[in-house]
Amino acid sequence: MENIIRILPTEISKLINVLPDETKDGIEEIRLRVNRQVEVTAREVTSCLPYLFTQSDAEQLISNLAGHSFYTLDEELRRGYITIEGGHRIGLAGKAILEEGRVKALRHLASFNIRVAREKIGAAERFIPFIYNGGWKHTMIIGPPQTGKTTLLRDLARIVSTGCPKNRIPAMKAGIVDERSEIAGCMHGIPQLQFGTRVDVLDACPKAEGMMMMIRALSPDVLIVDEIGRREDKEAIMEAVNAGITLMMTTHGNGLEEIIKRPLLREIIEQQVFQRFIELSRNDGPGTVVSIKDQNGQVVSAHV
């Protein structure tokens, strides 16, 4: 939390600092809205702190954020979020400035959603028997928001890059296309989280374009991407498969049955590109495994 506390307005930093350690350690989000109480979500419980976030606080926060921006602040505002040291992401809302029908920037910022990046080393190790057998299997992680998809994907990237001696898995080249700077949390192009030595990251790069760049120039053994779902993503996925690259990806949804109803994803699934589907929920907290399924949609394991 130190990286987050450093960029918060002074009064809010004080309030966060005096929270019980158990609460502070479990913080998932801090929401700041001008003229509204500060809202904190910790361990799936949302509560309001006894403080009204002011316009002056917003200006102080923006000033602090400007010093943590990888690109110019204007570029970050165009994308609608800023990533700070530690891989934490701050979503933004305000008045959209348009140019030729597309968002050019955000002004008059009035809402900030600070999402705490939690690195869980070892979170993916229990899945190894299901997704590695002499080589990594094409894997899609499915779940609604805040079910731990990115946390799991991040740890899979670490295992790919570092290897796993106890499972006789060698270190391989991991290529991460991090469109929203959420997987690796790069600052100045350098990942802020642990990935080992054999990892390359394209930060803030559109997924489809980044996948093609990785395929053509960096020859990854495993390509890692968060939140697929657009037409151009499918084309890049098929290029990777045809190039012999293993895919590990996430997508939003309540399970395989739901996402197969989407025309684009149905095309990919029906071609049996992905060999494993890991379905997540929050039933018993983030990272709850509903089931692991094979390319035919058959359950491989319901208890991991």
Q: Encode pLDDT of 84-112 as tens digits.
A: 887 788 999 999 888 888 877 778 899 99
Q: What is the mean pLDDT of residues 261-271?
A: 90
Q: Are strands 199-203 and 222-225 parallel, antiparallel or unpaired?
A: unpaired
Look at residue 74 in the predicted model and tell me its pLDDT: 67
Angle, CA of 77, 80 and 82, to the nearest 5°: 75
Q: With beta carbons less than 8 A apart as the criterion, state whether 278 and 142 touch.
A: yes
Separation between Cα atoms, residue 193 and residue 184, nearest integer Å: 6
Question: Global pTM?
Answer: 0.82
pLDDT at 14 over 50: yes
pLDDT at 72 over 80: no
Look at residue 73 in the predicted model and tell me its pLDDT: 67
pLDDT at 124 over 90: yes
Q: What is the mean pLDDT of residues 228-252?
A: 93
Q: Which of 30-34, 60-64, 207-211 is the least confident region?
A: 60-64
Q: With beta carbons less than 8 A apart as the criterion, state whether 125 and 138 touch.
A: no
pLDDT at 71 over 70: no
Q: What is the mean pLDDT of residues 174-190?
A: 87
**Could you give all domains of the chain from N- to C-terminal order, each with its CATH number?**
2-115 (3.30.450), 125-301 (3.40.50.300)
H helices present in the chain, as ranges: 2-7, 10-17, 21-25, 55-66, 73-79, 128-131, 149-162, 207-217, 231-242, 256-259, 263-270
More confident: 106 or 158: 158
pLDDT class of 54 with cuts at 50, 70, 90? very high
Task: Return the H-helix or E-strand segment holding 94.
Answer: strand 88-99
